[in-house]
Amino acid sequence: MNHNTPLSPRPLSHLSAVQRRVMSVAQLRAHGVPPARIASQCLPGGPWQLLLPGVYVLHPGPPTSEERLHGALLYAGRPPVPGQGGRGGRGGAQGRPGAARNPAANPYGEAMITGLAALALRRFSTAPPLLSLDRIDVLVPRTRRLRSTGCARLVRAHALPRPEEITGLPVAPVHRALADAVAQLADAHAVRGLLTEAVRDGHCEPAAVVKELTRARLLARPHVVDAVDLLLAEGRAAAEDRLYEVVRAYALPEPVWNVDLRLPGGGPHLGGVDAYWPELAVAVELDTRASRRDADALWSQYARKREQLERLGITVVHLTPKKLRDYPEQQATVVRTALMAAADQDPAAYVVVLPR
């Protein structure tokens, strides 16, 4: 807070450093600063400056990236003027009326950072630095009657995801932030880099990303489709690595990896599996389907393969990349249980195992 501007004795200890440097008009009034005083502080050469409508930076000079983030959230989450907007007027305070009446309790309402700014906060190497972003995307309810202005670009959603807190700021989940970023990008290389990094570095699973891209109707764009194909390849490779780690970390018997199964004597091809224990006739298949138009067809293919193998006495265990990542010990137990159960069953039909 600028020392030339006396405020009320109301304590500021609950505010972070950036929250003391950037305040909304409602917060300033709550601290006893009258409108005339606010206006005089923002005159040319004055110690304050208007960052966004109703949001002030309480120092001269360019705002930092942290201040711009905080200011964009204050602008998007500010309570509406009483009597304006009907349903839309409730905006960022829907479901939380206390947030609108008490900006100190929740100055951001339901607003959250999304898009490239959210990815930069998560330290994506393929996202531009925060200082280089002209606009900061802020996710708000679709009924919010505010316009994008200055450094704040509003992105409206029918249903808001649960935000995650990063450096004290509400930030959209990775899959939602990715979709909002991709929606603004025409550069195929940039899109490919963001999606690949998200999966390669374990920020989220491919299925969640593809589902969000589908919801946003972005899969009609050729450069996005191409990037998704690479994303799925990265996701499968990551899932295979996790499966290797689970087998070895939890001392499971070593299988043969990535093999095709056939009936003997030039019989029909039964399909490929990710891991197979020939002595016990147990197969593991990674379910790496994503929410795309071909997802149902892929599931039908999986189901037919599983039915055919089980008719031959082969146990098929389906594992998902997400469960392998989040619950490796549980998934190891699932596989171990299948192996133990198979040891007590009648021998399966003989099949030919080939590398793929």
For residue 6, is it within any domain?
no
On whether both 265 and 120 belong to a single domain, the answer is no
pTM of the predicted model as reported, rounded to 2 decimal places? 0.75
Residue 216 lies in a domain: yes
CB 136 within 8 A of CB 172: no
Please check whether residues 194 and 267 belong to one and the same domain. Answer: no
Q: Same structural domain for residues 199 and 265?
A: no
Q: Which domain holds residue 297?
A: 253-355
pLDDT surpasses 90 at 204: no
What's the maximum distance between 2 C-alpha atoms anywhere in the chain? Answer: 92
Residue 44 falls inside a structural domain:
no
Q: Where are the beta strands (DSSP E) in the chain?
A: 22-24, 49-52, 55-57, 112-113, 136-141, 152-157, 164-166, 169-171, 256-262, 269-277, 282-286, 315-319, 352-355
> Which is higher by pLDDT, 99 or 153?
153
- Structural domain includes residue 13: no
pLDDT of residue 118: 98
Predicted local confidence at residue 298, as pLDDT: 62
Amino acid identity for residue 74 in this structure: L
Please indicate, yes or no, if residue 246 is contained in any of the structural domains: no
Q: Which of 193, 204, 185 is nearest to 115 (CA)?
A: 185
In a domain, 49, yes or no: no
Decide the pairing of beta strands 256-262 and 169-171: unpaired
Q: Is residue 126 part of a domain?
A: yes
Residue 342's alpha-carbon distances to 123, 308, 339, 346, in angstroms, are 46, 17, 5, 8
pLDDT per position as a tens digit, 264-301: 988 889 999 999 999 999 999 998 765 455 555 666 77
Task: Give the pLDDT of residue 348.
Answer: 87
Write 100-105 long-range contacts (CB < 8 A, 24+): 103/24, 103/26, 103/27, 103/30, 103/78, 103/79, 104/14, 104/27, 104/30
Stretch 137-160: mean pLDDT: 94
- The answer to whether the beta carbons of residues 177 and 209 sit under 8 Å apart is no
What pLDDT digit, counting tens, does each position of 5-37 carry? 444 444 444 567 888 899 999 999 988 999 999
Better-scored residue on pLDDT, 97 or 166: 166
Q: Residue 340 pLDDT more than 90?
A: yes
Same domain assignment for residues 277 and 339:
yes
pLDDT at 302: 74
Q: Is 155's pLDDT higher than 60? A: yes
Of the three residues 188, 205, 237, the one that is the final residue of a domain is 237
- pLDDT value of residue 97: 40
Query: Would 11 be classed as within a structural domain?
Result: no
Q: Are residues 81 and 194 in the same domain?
A: yes
Please list the alpha-helical segments (H only) found in 31-96: 35-41, 65-77, 86-90
Positive/negative CA dihedral, 184, 187, 189, 192: positive
125 and 268 together in one domain: no
Q: Are residues 198 and 289 in the same domain?
A: no
258 and 231 in a single domain? The answer is: no
Checking if the pLDDT of 83 tops 50, the result is no
Same domain for 110 and 216, yes or no, is yes
241, pLDDT greater than 80: yes
Domain's final residue, options 237, 268, 294: 237
Domain boundary among 211, 237, 263: 237
Same domain, yes or no: 89 and 181: yes
pLDDT value of residue 89: 39
- Do residues 111 and 207 both lie within one domain? yes
User: Buried b / exposed e across 305-329, counting CB within 10 Å, b at 16+?
Assistant: bbebbeeeebbbbebbbbbbbeebe
What one-character DSSP code corresponds to residue 46?
-
Structural domains in the chain (count)? 2
What mean pLDDT comes out for the span 231-260?
93
Regarding whether 227 and 113 lie in a shared domain, the answer is yes
| % of residues, the chain, pLDDT over 90 | 64
